[in-house]
Structure 1
């Protein structure tokens, strides 16, 4: 029986756990606060899910999803993740993670940074360019006419194939964006980032602008209501990936 380890029980991690259990994949869920804090979450997920430490989740998983703030990446259990296919959902926000000069300058991508820490793992960037509520809203069975595609990037072809197999079971097609060095193509505020999965892209862009202004003014931002989601076919995603320009931290609305 296949098992998915998930390190990070936030919005993305718990949505992926829900998709996995629905696809008959066992889930071992971990966070930084200890398994006892996940009792209610595991109960909601059902009999296929259990809570554990990050090390135990890493050891148990046939694949391991890492879904934590980038600032915490050095706390990931590198030894336990050695040899594993690791799906990295991280994005860089300097206002949250603190400024990292190599990322600010575009010298390295977020997932290349995480891969350096997880030197023995096989990292695949995935699930970072879609809003958490769209994971459940847009998942479809294999072969569905309205199936949505997600980009992946990684340096190990076999790891990418394995990640694509998992992602298919979770309800999505995949488009290979190349090595980790090219994963900037679907990082924050690039063309494939979140907006193409929305029913009203203009409204989402306007909400981003309002959020950025609130953050600059020191006000508490009002988050937009969840968008119901619109399918994004693989062909359209390939076009977006090929045509996007890189958005360095200083060029983004929300740095």
Structure 2
């Protein structure tokens, strides 16, 4: 499959490695230009390209950029064919993204993204911590393999996203339509708690929408207190321990 990835942060970098290793033709771009993408990102076979090249002639396009930058790429996506599956990995954090009124008032993050780019998406890889994603992949059938929820409205979008999740070394779990994707947003029991395929459906069902923002912000405060600020990402054991204590 031909795949374009926008973003070379912690999740984007691992996506490039895993999907290239799985045999997919992967192009990756960031906002600073292909010359700024290092060999540590491309070592498994991904190719550094411009943003315009990354969204062109691909079967699937993965958005791995901060949520507040989604509107800036919307014009590029107007030229992307309808049959290209767009997968979003973003999450809303007001301290980073600044406050977005619609989401603050209860709009589901995935539906806000759709409004910005004016096309359907699937939601995947947003509910796993970057350290878990980088280190805890396992072959299909391995005991205690971590599960990743996937939400989509289109059967094709869901099937493609779930297949790619499996290719990255995790069990894909159908999380239903996008209007229910709040169940995998920050603050929910399914969010960055490293659950198995058996455990994930119960966690999705247990989510309480009105409690998510407070739990999300408590987790951020606890992580900053534990490891400091400055954009540091917590190790898997720290993040999972805090999130399980607060969200489950």
Q: TM-score range by the shorter chain?
A: 0.7 to 0.9
Paired position in structure 2 for 1:185: 183
Aligned equivalents of 2:118, 2:164: Cα separation in 1 = 22
Paired position in structure 2 for 1:98: 98
Does structure 1 retain, via aligned residues, the 8 Å contact 2:102–2:112? no
Aligned equivalents of 1:16, 1:61: Cα separation in 2 = 15
- Picking from 199, 219, 233, the partner of 2:196 is 233
1:114 aligns with 2:113: yes
Paired position in structure 1 for 2:150: 152
Displacement, 1:114?
1.1
Displacement, 1:25?
1.5
SS at match of 1:143: coil
Displacement, 1:168?
1.2
Does structure 2 retain, via aligned residues, the 8 Å contact 1:55–1:80? no
5+ residue gaps, structure 1:
198-231
Displacement, 1:136?
2.9
Paired position in structure 1 for 2:208: 245
Displacement, 1:250?
5.1
Paired position in structure 2 for 1:168: 166
Does structure 1 retain, via aligned residues, the 8 Å contact 2:186–2:213? no
Deviation per CA, 1:25-82, whole angstroms, max 9, x where unpaired?
A: 221010111111114345x424x21111222111243211101111111112222434
Aligned equivalents of 2:155, 2:149: Cα separation in 1 = 14
Aligned equivalents of 1:96, 1:82: Cα separation in 2 = 31
Paired position in structure 2 for 1:216: none
Aligned equivalents of 2:63, 2:33: Cα separation in 1 = 16
**Normalising by the residue count of structure 2, what TM-score does the alignment of the two structures yield?**
0.80
SS at match of 2:56: helix
Inter-CA distance 250–81: structure 2 relative to 1 (3 Å threshold) = farther
Displacement, 1:234?
1.2
Displacement, 1:3?
2.2
1:63 aligns with 2:64: no
Which of 232-241 and 74-83 deviates more? 74-83
Aligned equivalents of 2:5, 2:71: Cα separation in 1 = 16
1:51 aligns with 2:48: yes
SS at match of 1:59: coil
Displacement, 1:145?
2.8
Does structure 2 retain, via aligned residues, the 8 Å contact 1:103–1:109? yes
Q: CA RMSD in A?
A: 1.8
Deviation per CA, 1:190-235, whole angstroms, max 9, x where unpaired?
A: 11111x22xxxxxxxxxxxxxxxxxxxxxxxxxxxxxxxxxx3212
Paired position in structure 2 for 1:205: none
- Picking from 135, 157, 163, the partner of 1:137 is 135
5+ residue gaps, structure 2:
222-248
Does structure 2 retain, via aligned residues, the 8 Å contact 1:124–1:163? yes
**Normalising by the residue count of structure 1, what TM-score does the alignment of the two structures yield?**
0.78
Displacement, 1:248?
4.6
